[in-house]
Structure 1
Amino acid sequence: MPLDPTRTVQELKDLRHLTGDDNGAQRVAFTDPWLAARAFLKQRLDALPVEQHMDPAGNYWATLKGESPRELLIGGHLDSVPNGGWLDGCLNVLAGLEVLRRVNEQYGGRPPVTLRLVDWADEEGARFGRSLYGSSAASGFFDPEQMARLKDRDGVTLGQALEKVGVTLAEAPQAQAELKGAAAYLELHIEQGPVLEGLGLPLGAVAGTVGVERHTITFHGQAAHSGSTPMNVRKDALLAAAKLAQEIYKIAERHGGVCTIGSVKTLPGIVTSVVETCELTLDQRHLNARALGAMWQDAQDAASRFADEGGCSASFTDIWNIEPILFHPELIAATEASILELVPGTHRLPSGPLHDAAEVARAGVPTVMLFVQSLRGISHNKIEDTLEEHIELSVQALDRLTDKAMAWIKAQR
Structure 2
Amino acid sequence: MMADPQPGRVLSDLKALRALTGDEEGAQRVAFTPTWRAARTFLQERLDELPVEQHMDEAGNFWATLRGASETALLIGGHLDSVPNGGWLDGCLNVLAGLEVLRCFAAAGTPPVTVRLVDWADEEGARFGRSLYGSSAVSGHLNVEEMARLKDRDGVSLEDALKGVGVTLADAPQAGRELRHAGAYLELHIEQGPVLEELGLPLGVVLGTVGVERHTLTFRGQAAHSGSTPMHARRDALLAAARLSQEIYTIAARHGGVCTVGSVKTLPGIVTSVVETCEITLDQRHLDAEKLAAMWADARTTAAQFAEEGGCTVTFADLWHIGPIPFHPDLIELGDRSILQVTAQSHRLPSGPLHDAAEVARAGIPTVMLFVQSLRGISHNKIEDTREEHLELSVRALADLAQRTAQWLTQLPAGTVP
| TM-score for both structures, normalised by structure 1 | 0.83
- Alignment partner, residue 89 of structure 1: 91
Deviations 1:82-123 (A, max 9, x none): 22211111100000001101111111xx32111000011122
Give the 5 Å matches for 1:132-171: 132-171=132-171
Can you give the 5+ residue segments of structure 2 that lack an aligned partner in the other structure? Answer: 224-228
CA distance in 1, matches of 2:157, 2:282: 21
Q: Quote the residue 2:69 is aligned against.
A: 67
Asked if 1:402 corresponds to 2:399, the answer is no
Could you tell me how far apart the structure 1 residues matched to 2:383 and 2:77 are?
24
Question: Closer, same or farther in 2 for the Cα pair 1:290/1:126, shift >3 Å?
Answer: farther
Question: Equivalent residue for 1:370?
Answer: 370
Question: How many corresponding residue pairs?
Answer: 409
Q: Distance in 2 between matches of 1:264 and 1:149?
A: 27
TM-fit CA distance, 1:336: 1.6
Matched residues, percent identical? Answer: 69
SS at the partner of 1:284? strand
Cα displacement (A) at 1:299? 5.8
Residues 112/84 of structure 1: CA separation in 2 closer, same or farther (3 Å cut) = same
Q: Aligned pair in 2 of structure 1 residues 186, 261: CA closer, same or farther (>3 Å)?
A: same
Q: Structure 1's 159 and 192: CA in aligned 2 closer, same or farther, altered over 3 A?
A: same
Aligned to 2:206: 206
Distance 1:337 1:2, change over 3 A: closer
Q: Tell me if the contact between 2:214 and 2:318 (Cα under 8 Å) persists in the aligned partners.
A: no
Moved more, 325-334 or 398-407: 325-334
Residue among 99, 102, 118 paired with 1:100: 102
**Alpha-carbon distance in 1 for matches of 2:307, 2:265:** 16
Q: Residue 382 of structure 1: CA displacement?
A: 1.5
SS of residue paired to 1:68: coil
Deviation at 1:318, TM superposition (A): 3.6
Q: Secondary structure of 1:341's match?
A: helix
- Tell me: CA distance 1:82–1:314, structure 2 relative to 1, closer, same or farther (3 Å): farther
Contact 1:240 1:310 in 2 (8 A): no
1:288 equivalent in structure 2: 288
Q: Distance in 2 between matches of 1:379 and 1:315?
A: 32
8 Å CA contact 2:217–2:282 kept in 1: the answer is no
Q: CA deviation at 1:265?
A: 8.4
1 CA distance for matches of 2:191 and 2:341? 20
Hey, what does 2:226 align to over in structure 1? none
- Structure 1 partner of 2:359: 359
- If the length of structure 2 is used for normalisation, what is the TM-score? 0.83
Cα offset for 1:8? 0.5
Task: Tell me: CA distance 1:375–1:121, structure 2 relative to 1, closer, same or farther (3 Å).
Answer: same
Q: Is the 8 Å Cα contact of residues 23 and 83 (structure 1) preserved in structure 2?
A: yes
* 2-structure distance, mates of 1:391, 1:205: 15
Partner of 2:32: 30
Pick from 23, 26, 41: which aligns with 2:43? 41
Match of 1:11 among 2, 10, 13: 13
Which structure has the greater CA radius of gyration?
2
Q: Is the aligned partner of 1:384 residue 2:384?
A: yes
More off after superposition, 97-106 vs 1-10: 1-10
Question: 8 Å contact 2:241–2:303 — kept in the other structure?
Answer: yes
Distance 1:83 1:249, change over 3 A: farther
Moved more, 140-149 or 277-286: 277-286
CA contact (8 A) 1:210 1:351 kept: yes
One-letter amino acid of the structure 1 residue matched with residue 27 of structure 2: A
CA contact (8 A) 2:219 2:312 kept: no
Could you say what the CA RMSD is over the residues aligned between the two structures, in angstroms? Answer: 3.7
CA deviation string 1:28-55 (max 9, x = no partner): 2222322221121112112222111111
